Structure 1
Amino acid sequence: MLETEALRRALARAPRVVRVVVADTRGSTPREVGAAMLVGAEGLLHGTIGGGTLEHEAIARARGLARHPGPDQVQTQALGPDLGQCCGGAVTLFHETWDAAKLAGVEGDVIARPLPGAPDEMPFAVTRLLATARAQGVPPKAGLHEGWLIEPLARPERELWIWGAGHVGRALVSVIAPLPGLAITWVDTAPERFPDQIPEGVTMLPAADPARLMPHAPPHAEHLILTYSHQLDLALCDAALRRGFGFCGLIGSASKWARFRSRLAALGHEPARIAGISCPIGQPELGKHPQEIAVGVACELLTTTARKEAMGGRTA
């Protein structure tokens, strides 16, 4: 999946970036087709193709291309003793140089191009695959077809709003931010509540009265409410119920949620609507440490995504 936003951020740091993408695999490999990393002249900027000697050598080759631009390169490598890896499979890597002009020319939901040595004219199999994907409204999976690499463009499929930048909020953002397909908005009451470094792809939004921001969230957005104040948590739950949401999770105990249900009902919300809020969030059996909560929530998000993909749908 081609992450255009990651490319844009990388090109803000370097005039040229080499994208190394797994174009094809055979047997057991550390990453799937479409996995990619971005490399500048000074080194790795984003992503991974699985680590180890394979990645180390690919980065060295990509740095050379970033310093001295040349033709795009394709290489098939067996993952055996020569690389100090025992996967036993083989991987085909495509080294492709990008600059701002090339990125500006990317349009639509899918990019298809020939690898070096493949015919310039798009094969009928690729044309048919793209036409079928358009007709079904579902982007095709990344794959190599008769020498042509097809990749869907990665666009945020889920709008996730995290309310609170305390210990749990910070742990959540650190775990969740690297996941693909997420656009994260992070809200708290003041700028000093946030860490000095905000992960890439996360929008920091300080607001004295966070609940007043809820109407600005998309109605399909997902919300994780975990502020330092029960009063603020309640106000956010109230605002979320009035706005509508794709998912809303609240950190807390069974007793806290029982009190909140009563108070939300007093504010005029129907019990069936209140039941749409999940409390507690994540997987409580993992523990109460901030990192344990974060891992549980991340697992829940990934499980939901995998379930929807298995049903052939897209996460909204």
Structure 2
Amino acid sequence: MSFDRDSLAAAIAAQGEVVRVVVVSAQGSTPRGPGTAMLVWPTGQQGTIGGGALEWEACAMARARLGQPPVTVTLPLGPAMNQCCGGTVTLALESFAEAPPEAPAFARPVSDTAPAEPPLAFARALTATRNGSQPAGIAHENGWLLEPMTTPRAPVWIWGAGHVGRALAATLAPLDHIALTWADTSADRFPQTPPVAPTTGDLPALAATAPPTAHHLILTYSHALDLALCDTLLARPAASIGLIGSATKWARFRARLAASGHAAAQISRIRCPIGDPTLGKHPQAIAISTAAQLLSMLEKQANAAMRGDMTG
């Protein structure tokens, strides 16, 4: 988890001053861990720290803190909150009228009893982060809070705004470790209130601009467009490529992609069908199982990267 400056800036632009609630520490059984955050304003919120009584209480406290100095509170998740978790969560509540400057990490006091200077460990961590020798992690000490501000988000591109595309976009958009791009040929193919800003244009041309680390999910209204996207993406790096379709559609696509000069090993990079066919063809069922596949893939990649960092 990291301090999502972009989301904070967007919320301030849309809502005015907002309060950011972040879990700074957690002991025992708790809904979410340190670094989990949400934004709260008088008429709504963005994100979640776990729901239930904890979130209800945190939202009420946050709205009371609008325009006020930061504060840190510790909440026991037991009988007093009608919960049986048994853990304890410490939250920092900060009111923001503007987003902080961009930086690798963000250190600041979140308590009126915090000393004027940050702990020595924070100063060392900030220096290591700035010179690139070590990434920052979340830390809470002596009334000060340190959070990384540069955790990368996995780029995911959804191609198509039909029923499955809409269900999939709605499922993935709230996830803060995904940077979602949702593309189709024209704006009128999207719902009136899309969960992310639509991208429109020539889809194969757009695909050629995607970052090489992007995950692609192809489900347009046109088989010809699907095939053109597959052709474009096979000619360049991609983290993964998924295609909606039946066994018959995939057999025809394999033959046509081979005829276009793609080797069998390249064509096998495409996963078709996406999702779990045993769960049925309802758009929401396809979206849920496809999202689960993607999240599992991202988790494996993150664990592999962590093992590499530990052994490198």
Task: Name the residue aligned to 2:48.
Answer: 48
Deviation at 1:136, TM superposition (A): 6.7
Task: Name the residue aligned to 1:18.
Answer: 19
Deviation at 1:65, TM superposition (A): 2.0
* Aligned counterparts, 1:116-265, within 5 A: 116=111, 117-131=113-127, 139-153=135-149, 157-199=153-195, 202-207=196-201, 209-265=202-258
- Residue 113 of structure 1 aligns to a residue whose secondary structure is strand
Query: What is the alpha-carbon distance in structure 1 between the residues aligned to residue 58 and residue 222 of structure 2?
Result: 48
Query: 1:238-260, CA deviations, whole angstroms, 9 ceiling, x for partnerless residues?
Result: 11122332211111122322211
Query: In 1, are the aligned partners of 2:26 and 2:89 still within 8 Å (CA)?
Result: yes
Q: CA RMSD in A?
A: 2.2
Query: In 2, are the aligned partners of 1:6 and 1:46 still within 8 Å (CA)?
Result: no
Task: Name the residue aligned to 1:62.
Answer: 62
43-52 vs 122-131, which moves further: 122-131
Query: In 2, are the aligned partners of 1:141 and 1:150 still within 8 Å (CA)?
Result: yes
Task: Name the residue aligned to 1:38.
Answer: 39
Query: What is the alpha-carbon distance in structure 1 between the residues aligned to residue 292 and residue 228 of structure 2?
Result: 27
Give the gaps of 5 or more residues in structure 2.
Answer: 308-312
Aligned CA distance change for structure 1 residues 39 and 197 (closer, same or farther; 3 Å): same
Aligned CA distance change for structure 1 residues 138 and 313 (closer, same or farther; 3 Å): farther
Q: Which amino acid aligns with 1:9?
A: A
- Residue 118 of structure 1 aligns to a residue whose secondary structure is coil
Query: In 2, are the aligned partners of 1:164 and 1:186 still within 8 Å (CA)?
Result: yes
Q: Which amino acid aligns with 2:163?
A: H
Task: Name the residue aligned to 1:76.
Answer: 74
Deviation at 1:266, TM superposition (A): 0.6
Structure 1 residue 297 corresponds to structure 2 residue 278: no
Query: What is the alpha-carbon distance in structure 2 between the residues aligned to residue 179 and residue 138 of structure 1?
Result: 26
Query: In 2, are the aligned partners of 1:4 and 1:154 still within 8 Å (CA)?
Result: no
Query: 1:255-284, CA deviations, whole angstroms, 9 ceiling, x for partnerless residues?
Result: 322211111011111221111111122333
* Alignment TM-score, normalising by the size of structure 1: 0.88
153-162 vs 216-225, which moves further: 153-162
Query: What is the alpha-carbon distance in structure 1 between the residues aligned to residue 141 and residue 299 of structure 2?
Result: 25
Query: What is the alpha-carbon distance in structure 1 between the residues aligned to residue 266 and residue 220 of structure 2?
Result: 22
Query: In 2, are the aligned partners of 1:214 and 1:243 still within 8 Å (CA)?
Result: no
Query: What is the alpha-carbon distance in structure 2 between the residues aligned to residue 203 and residue 266 of structure 1?
Result: 36
Query: What is the alpha-carbon distance in structure 1 between the residues aligned to residue 52 and residue 265 of structure 2?
Result: 51
- Residue 263 of structure 1 aligns to a residue whose secondary structure is helix
Query: In 1, are the aligned partners of 2:47 and 2:174 still within 8 Å (CA)?
Result: no
Query: In 2, are the aligned partners of 1:184 and 1:203 still within 8 Å (CA)?
Result: no
Query: What is the alpha-carbon distance in structure 2 between the residues aligned to residue 91 and residue 272 of structure 1?
Result: 49
